[in-house]
Structures are given as structure tokens and as C-alpha cells.
Amino acid sequence: MNTVQSGWKRSAWCRGVFLPILSLVALWLSASVAAAHNVTAGDAGYIQQIWGIKIIPFMYLGAKHMVTGYDHILFLFGVVFFLYKAKHVATYVSLFAIGHSTTMLAGVYFGWNVNAYLIDAIIGLSVVYKALDNLGAYQRWFGIQPNAKMATLVFGFFHGLGLATKILDYDLPEDGLLPNLIAFNVGVEIGQMMALAIILIAMGYWRRSQSFWRHAYTANVVMMCAGFILIGYQLTGLVVAS
């Protein structure tokens, strides 16, 4: 098989598989956006019934939350979209993890009472922000480039606070609270590494195709639309709940 045929097949794969998947993700978000950061009924029942230190179960719950947390996945996807070196990926993911861990632990432990709809709307905004950043919109519109590392850290704070608002809906037992929260957070980071590995593998294949730069714009527009869906849903919930 010659180079042209190989390139054409890779391009067709991206058009026929990768971009439709992104579109389906956006549609799925519009249908299931209410589940963002939610603790499932079964997990909630377990959390409310346990007592004492339960390291492994809370690690599992944390990993499960991260792997199924599409808002986290979308933001991570945007963050690593144009990162090619492992050290750069590690830097940005570490900043996100620091922010996420800090507010999740502090929010639950100190009982911060923050409006969940507002926080989740800001999380949707983080997805929109990163998509626009990848599209170079800030330089074209305002002639400036925001500090990407600082933005990743700050939005990490909001992502962690979003989870904390949901966990606080359930009365966690005081016995073993801190160890259980730390175990949950460790699980979240394990889940994050699993999700990131899948993203990087998929991106690695896509970047080797000739169509990457042709479809990078479309991919980020889809991601931006998904972020706006998140924002719209949460703001609607805020108004209805008021």
C-alpha cells in the first residue's frame, strides 16, 4: 500500500469514525446532561449506610465518578488537544488534579454550601473556554493569550467544587470521613489517568493522519457546543429552582 492510499484511509477513518463519535457525544450530552457530577442512587445508598474507614470502596467510587464524568473528560480532551510532549501533558494534568483535589476535599470536609447549578454552569464554561482557546479565538478577538496553566488550575478548582456540592447532599458519617475522602480523591485521580490514557491513544492515531489539521477546528467547535449545552441546562435549572 503506497503512502497516498494509506493517508487516504486514515483520513477516511477520521471522517467516518472520529468526528461522528464527537457529534454523538454532543447529542448524548444534551440528553443526559443532568447526570453531571451526580452520585448514582446505588452509590448514594451505600455512602449513607457505611460507617468507619472504607478505603477500597471509596477509591472505586472515585474512579467510577471520573471515568463517567463527561464534563471532566471533555475538559481534559481540550487541555491535551495540542499537547505533544509528555512533560507538557503531565504539567497541565497535574495542575488540574491539584485544583480538583483541593476543592473537593475542602468543600466536603468544611461543608462549603455552594449552589450546584452555578458551579456546574462554570464547569460547562471551562469546556467552552478551552475550545475557544484551542481555536485561537482570544488572540483574534482581543489580541491576548490567556495563561493556559493558570486557567487549568482555576477551572480545576471549580471541577472539584462541583463534585463536593453533590457529595454534600448526602450525610457522610463523621467516623473515617477524612481517610474516606482522601481515598475517594485517589480513586478520582486513578480514573483520570485511565481516561487520559484512552484520550492520548486515540489522539495519537488521529494526529498521524493527514486529516488532523483539517478536522481539528470541527472537533473543537463540537466541544464548544457541548459546553454551551452544559451551561444552558444548568442555568435553566438555576432559574427553575429559584
The pLDDT score that the predictor gives to residue 51 is 74
Spell out the per-residue pLDDT of the chain, length 242, in tens.
Answer: 444 344 434 444 444 444 445 544 544 444 444 444 555 656 666 666 777 788 888 898 888 888 888 888 999 999 999 999 999 999 999 999 999 999 999 998 898 888 999 999 999 999 999 999 999 999 999 999 999 999 999 999 999 998 888 888 777 777 888 898 899 899 999 999 999 999 999 999 999 888 898 899 999 999 999 999 999 999 999 999 87
Question: How does DSSP classify residue 40?
Answer: P
Assess if residue 230 is contained within a domain: yes
pTM, to two decimals: 0.81
Assess if residue 13 is contained within a domain: no
Assess if residue 133 is contained within a domain: yes
Assess if residue 23 is contained within a domain: no
The pLDDT score that the predictor gives to residue 70 is 84
Assess if residue 5 is contained within a domain: no
Among 69, 60, 76, 92, CA closest to 184? 60
Assess if residue 210 is contained within a domain: yes
Question: If you write DSSP's letter for every residue of 144-166 in order, what string do you get?
Answer: ----HHHHHHHHHHHHHHHHHHH
The pLDDT score that the predictor gives to residue 84 is 92
Report the alpha-carbon distance of residue 152 to residue 125 in Å, rounded.
Answer: 12
The pLDDT score that the predictor gives to residue 43 is 66
Domain that holds residue 221: 41-241
Among 62, 63, 21, 77, CA closest to 194? 63
Contact 46, 57 (CB under 8 A): yes
Query: Could you give the C-alpha distances from 142 to 42, 90, 130, 145, in angstroms and in order?
Result: 48, 29, 16, 8
Total domains, the chain? 1
Assess if residue 15 is contained within a domain: no
Assess if residue 26 is contained within a domain: no
User: What one-letter code names the amino acid at 174?
Assistant: E
